Structure 1
Amino acid sequence: MLTSPVTTAKRRARVRAPELVGRGWLNTGDKQVNLTDLRGKIVLLDFWTFCCINCLHVLDELRPLEEEFEDVLVTIGVHSPKFVHEADEQALRDAVERYEVHHPVLDDPELTTWQNYAVKAWPTLVLVDPEGYVVHVAAGEGHVEALRTIIKELSEEHDTKGTLHRGDGPYVPPPAPDTVLRFPAKAITTPNNTLLVSDSAHHSLVELDGETIVRRIGTGERGRQDGTQPTFSEPAGLTTIPQQVADRVGYHVVVADTVNHLLRGVNLDTGEVTTIAGTGEQWRDGDTDGDADKIDLTSPWDVAWWRNGVAIAMAGNHTLGFFDPVTRQVSRLAGTTVEGLNDGPKDEAFFAQTSGLAADGDRLWMVDSETSALRYLENGQVRSVIGEGLFSFGHRDGQADEALLQHPLGVTVLPDGSVAISDTYNGAIRRYDPATNEVSTIATGIAEPSDVVIADGELLVVASAGHRIEQLAANITKIIGDAHEVKRPPTDIAPGELELAVVFTPPTGSKLDDRYGPSTRLEITSSPPELILDGAGVGTNLSRTIKINNKITQGVLHVVAQAASCTDDPSVEHPACRLTRQDWGVPVRVTDTGPNRLPLMMGGMDEA
């Protein structure tokens, strides 16, 4: 018989939830929020950072849960930044608006609350009961059903005890802004010599002739309606397709409809929008190749016409996809779904939230935002030009192998063969010259540039956080800037034998699904590889003993875990099944005083 997470939590020593400490609060009317003020409410802490695609997925997953339990549940976002730019107060305010965060947010730039809750990954969810005790911890996406079950159990238990208080929470919506564009994402020129802009926060497309609005495609409501009154959900990448192909398929532009997990086609003659790829469900596991209307996509962020089809930056699972408009087939172009920076054959390459694409003949340029990298795919091989990995970034010009970016979102091939990089979190446009292998800075002081487009011989920049399109006044300079690293505090571990345990409890009413083989999988690697002397690699148990090198003082443990579970009801012929998966990159410090056990929470409570 399965034991629910709530019942399990009752049997173990109860842990009081630490107080919420940070620099300030958003979405509270400038009021401080304390956990003691929330006694009687079920509190869900969402540890997130606005660069993280998995965190953005969780924001969307939580919306229906927040609505369903609005009188008993208070969600609080704890913003724990990865990049320097994310620690900026205004940048966080912009992100909270951009992604329509409708709950209070604690600004925690020093990761104080993150450390107090021993968080190890973005995103992490912590559930606190009405009496102020931690009852459940989960890392990653896909935990809504488990949370729903636990919240129902907590509601019933504390309703009976008289410790549940219903009513409104501390959320206070900020004033509604009013600008023509709101967080535009990408732009292209059309065959009519107009500019088409994805107006992301307005959930629509805007066609401009100079500064004049020709038309708006989309009602402005969040949705996925086709036709001449279409709806989108945070659209981003755009690409035109050749006229001869457009004549066959009936649309001229392909749109990456990011939060809908769809590709949409736009007929520029009629303004009609059609769904051309994706089911509207987010890819979790399973087929990536097949009929376009049967394959799930995951946060397509950009698209580019390349080699007789549409290349797709599939930010949600760190891969590249490919769509053939004529045959209406989708396939995996490159990547394994492992997040990282690994070059080589395209089927073995690691990507990290690819967010910008640009075609140049047989070469497909891309920027990986999470590794702050400029890369390309050519002749079946992936090569990195700029970028050092998930934990290094900065603003530094010079030779490409020494240059640094900070979370770039756009890349554009210029007429002279060089490449313009929208270096988003540095607020800069950078230029890479393949002829000299040099990186320089063209412009700075731009509010989160996310794309560059060439129109009538001019360079135009999508200044996303500035809510406008700017003409670029190029002034090439050389900046010898600072190098940065992600400032998450390292976790102390002991040298020698270390038990690495991924904690996972199937949701109430479910069990691990071993009908088709092992239900769990654990992959452990490290940077540097010499950190682990024995025990690295892939296995089927969620707990493993590895041997840590006592000659290495610090490094990163890379852990990928997954567990398949299904509802445990023998009367149901087809049980509901789900795959829970989480990636961790855990900075560690090897010290004789460190513990010899490292628990990582994928879902549940640690019983050790």
Structure 2
Amino acid sequence: MSATMMPPSAVDTLDWVNARGSIALADLRGRVVILLFWNCDDIHSVNLLPRLQRLSTRFHDGMVLLAVHTPRYTAQRQSLVVSKAAHRLHLRAPVANDADWKAWRAFGIEAWPSAVIIDCEGRVARLLKGEDLADDLEILVGNLLDDAAARDLRRFDAAPGVQGGEPQMSLRFPGGIALSEQRVYLCDSSRNRILECAPDGRVLRQFGSGTPGFWDGNLTDAGLCDPAGLALAGDSLYVADTGNHAVRRVRLASGHIETVLGCGRLGYDSPRPDVGARTLAISAPRALLLRENQLYVSLAGQQQIWRMDLPSEQVEVLAGSGLNAFSDGPALEAGLAQPAGLAYHGGHLLIADAGANAVRALRLADGQLTTLAGAGPWQSGLADGGADAARFAHPEALVSDTGGALYVADTLNGRVCRMQPSGRSNWSVQTLVLPQSLQEPAALAIAGRTLWIVERNAHQVHRLDLDSAMLGKFTIGA
């Protein structure tokens, strides 16, 4: 884009879901405006947001960040869904719902995330693309503001404010659950903590200070950031500490929290025998599975599944070429797309491949990755049936029962499905009939014939009796 080009007027007609009043680009002359085109379920957009918010704080007297959300799924065309996503991701900037892709098309955007930079005279200065655009953006914004100040064009008045928020509830965008015989563990994700609850919902302990950060310590003296997945074994509770790009371990006897994988910094390192697990920079661990002293980790940002041998602390890539792709075959050559939930079934590691809108199976004996149901990143939908017919929309969690059935949280369709083997190599998908609709079910657990459902956008946890189909709320109390 040329620096002499005026920005399209499509921005002025957007639905700003959290702004105080309407926003017009002409009213922002004298400031550098960053139009961030993003999607709340694109992991690269999510990884970029903290950097841009820090940049917005640094240039608070000269830069305006405007986050333009464009949908990938039908549910994301709703302004309420976009507003909740902004709250879940701690966005403190005005957020627009570009439901019909008008602004996206007007600016010629091709991929998430992309940033259009508008200078203090209201002209398009640059278009930057990709998760790593923040460094270039910081230099560019500084130069544009210096130039505007030298020409007496810079304004220093307040930027557009935001309003609204979520109701005060016991949980805020919960994102993970683990069960023992006497305890329920929940990721209170947007409050950066783990709650240990009694079967009646009483909160017994809190792990994590509640303030986002990355440090080890006991109970509330440790720092977590947007924890999303849990795995429990004996005295250890493992946490996918997504916002810190790390895996943590809670020693339940003492309450001590320590890091087992990741250095707390976003990166794309590959495991090597001579590199310690805690020095690796990784991207967005989302879910965990623990089996026979092997910890399986879904790395949404690296499009891979890793396995960590806990006694030796050795780490290896188990599946995924590292490219955002959708292909079957030998595990290290096959493609995954933002893998999330994990489960085990009959010698297979089952994967909720969220970005691929599919459920995948990795045969552990020979490392072959296959697709059980779902059609790929741009083939989302809502359909039951056999493997070829079934469609999902960003499934984020799954769990298997002792009878061989698999339950899937089809997150952006707002439903839970049951998958069952049909013949030697096929699976059938059927939506569970529930007495109420769900707002982004994002985590599942099972105990006997009770299925636990974490409803992220409603800030609630439910218990479903699989025999009677009765659905009850798990109430969290002090």
Residue in structure 2 matched with residue 450 of structure 1 by the alignment? 442
- Does the C-alpha gap of structure 1 residues 13 and 148 become closer, same or farther in structure 2, counting only changes over 3 Å? closer
Residue in structure 2 matched with residue 202 of structure 1 by the alignment? 191
Q: Which amino acid aligns with 2:243?
A: V
Residue 428 (structure 2) aligned to one of 420, 424, 438:
438
Give how far 1:390 is off: 1.2
> What is the DSSP-based 3-state SS (H/G/I as helix, E as strand, rest coil) of the residue aligned with 2:86?
helix
Residue in structure 2 matched with residue 527 of structure 1 by the alignment? none
Matched, 1:396 2:378: no
> What is the DSSP-based 3-state SS (H/G/I as helix, E as strand, rest coil) of the residue aligned with 2:54?
helix
Matched, 1:359 2:340: no
Cα distance in 2 for partners of 1:123, 1:175 equals 24
Matched, 1:386 2:380: no
For residues 163-209 of structure 1, give each alpha carbon's deviation from its aligned partner in whole angstroms, at most 9, with x where no partner exists. 1101320022424631101111110113x521101111111001122
TM-align CA RMSD? 1.8
> What is the DSSP-based 3-state SS (H/G/I as helix, E as strand, rest coil) of the residue aligned with 1:402?
coil
Matched, 1:345 2:330: yes
Residue in structure 2 matched with residue 103 of structure 1 by the alignment? 93
Q: Is the 8 A contact 1:450 1:464 kept in 2?
A: yes
Q: Is the 8 A contact 2:173 2:190 kept in 1?
A: yes
Q: Which amino acid aligns with 1:358?
A: A
- Does the C-alpha gap of structure 1 residues 352 and 176 become closer, same or farther in structure 2, counting only changes over 3 Å? closer
The alignment-based identity, stated in percent, is 29
TM-score by length of 2: 0.92
Give how far 1:395 is off: 1.2
Residue in structure 2 matched with residue 239 of structure 1 by the alignment? 231
Structure whose CA Rg is larger: 1
Alignment map for 1:98-497 (pairs within 5 Å): 98-175=88-165, 177-190=167-180, 192-209=181-198, 210-228=200-218, 229-241=221-233, 243=234, 252-284=236-268, 287=271, 290-306=275-291, 308-378=293-363, 379=365, 380-436=367-423, 437-444=427-434, 445-455=437-447, 457-474=449-466
Q: Is the 8 A contact 1:412 1:452 kept in 2?
A: yes
Q: Which amino acid aligns with 2:419?
A: Y
Residue in structure 1 matched with residue 473 of structure 2 by the alignment? none
Residue in structure 1 matched with residue 15 of structure 2 by the alignment? 24
Q: Is the 8 A contact 2:271 2:317 kept in 1?
A: no
Give how far 1:305 is off: 1.1
> What is the DSSP-based 3-state SS (H/G/I as helix, E as strand, rest coil) of the residue aligned with 1:392?
coil
Cα distance in 2 for partners of 1:134, 1:142 equals 20
For residues 490-534 of structure 1, give each alpha carbon's deviation from its aligned partner in whole angstroms, at most 9, with x where no partner exists. xxxxxxxxxxxxxxxxxxxxxxxxxxxxxxxxxxxxxxxxxxxxx
Cα distance in 2 for partners of 1:156, 1:113 equals 28
Cα distance in 1 for partners of 2:466, 2:14 equals 37
- Relative contact order (alpha carbons < 8 A, sep ≥ 6): 1 or 2 greater? 1
For residues 299-351 of structure 1, give each alpha carbon's deviation from its aligned partner in whole angstroms, at most 9, with x where no partner exists. 00001013531111000111111122211222211111111210000010100
For residues 333-381 of structure 1, give each alpha carbon's deviation from its aligned partner in whole angstroms, at most 9, with x where no partner exists. 1111111210000010100000100123521011111111001101300
Residue-pair matches, total = 457
Structure that is richer in strand per residue: 1
Cα distance in 2 for partners of 1:407, 1:236 equals 15
For structure 1, the residue ranges without an aligned partner over 5 or more in a row are 1-8, 247-251, 478-608
> What is the DSSP-based 3-state SS (H/G/I as helix, E as strand, rest coil) of the residue aligned with 2:395?
coil
> What is the DSSP-based 3-state SS (H/G/I as helix, E as strand, rest coil) of the residue aligned with 2:359?
strand
Cα distance in 2 for partners of 1:39, 1:287 equals 48
Cα distance in 1 for partners of 2:197, 2:269 equals 40
Q: Which amino acid aligns with 2:182?
A: N
Give how far 1:154 is off: 0.6
Alignment map for 1:457-606 (pairs within 5 Å): 457-474=449-466
TM-score by length of 1: 0.73
Give how far 1:277 is off: 1.1
- Does the C-alpha gap of structure 1 residues 443 and 208 become closer, same or farther in structure 2, counting only changes over 3 Å? farther
Cα distance in 1 for partners of 2:342, 2:6 equals 47
Give how far 1:22 is off: 4.6
Cα distance in 2 for partners of 1:400, 1:475 equals 25
Give how far 1:288 is off: 6.0
For residues 379-434 of structure 1, give each alpha carbon's deviation from its aligned partner in whole angstroms, at most 9, with x where no partner exists. 30001011111111111111121111111100100121110000111111101101
Q: Which amino acid aligns with 1:372?
A: N
Cα distance in 1 for partners of 2:183, 2:13 equals 46
Query: Which has the larger displacement, 422-431 or 284-293?
Result: 284-293
For structure 2, the residue ranges without an aligned partner over 5 or more in a row are 470-478
